[in-house]
């Protein structure tokens, strides 16, 4: 995770200190642990919840 944060730091120009990079990486790892159970759900035939915003065309 630290590598990802370093890459973002360079790309966005956040100018983060080493200490900040470590802290953000640690917090991000914790957040990613929260997401793990999402991948354990059986999602066969389940479409994402997204509204495709199209309107009926002229007839």
Q: Which residues bind other proteins (CB under 8 A)?
A: 1, 4-5, 8, 12-16, 20, 23-24, 27-28, 30-35, 37-39, 41, 43, 46-51, 53
Minimum distance from residue 55 beta carbon to other proteins (Å): 9
Nearer to other proteins, 18 or 39 (CB): 39
Minimum distance from residue 39 beta carbon to other proteins (Å): 6
What 8-state DSSP symbol labels residue 26?
A: H
Distances (CA, A) of 30 to 11, 25, 56, 57: 23, 9, 44, 47
CA 7 to chain centre: 15
């Amino acid at each position: 995770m630290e590598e990802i944060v370093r890459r973002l730091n360079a790309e966005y120009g956040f100018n983060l200190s080493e200490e900040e990079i470590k802290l953000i990486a640690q917090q991000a790892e914790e957040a990613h642990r929260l997401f793990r159970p999402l991948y354990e759900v059986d999602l066969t035939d389940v479409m994402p919840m997204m509204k495709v915003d199209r309107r009926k065309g002229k007839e």
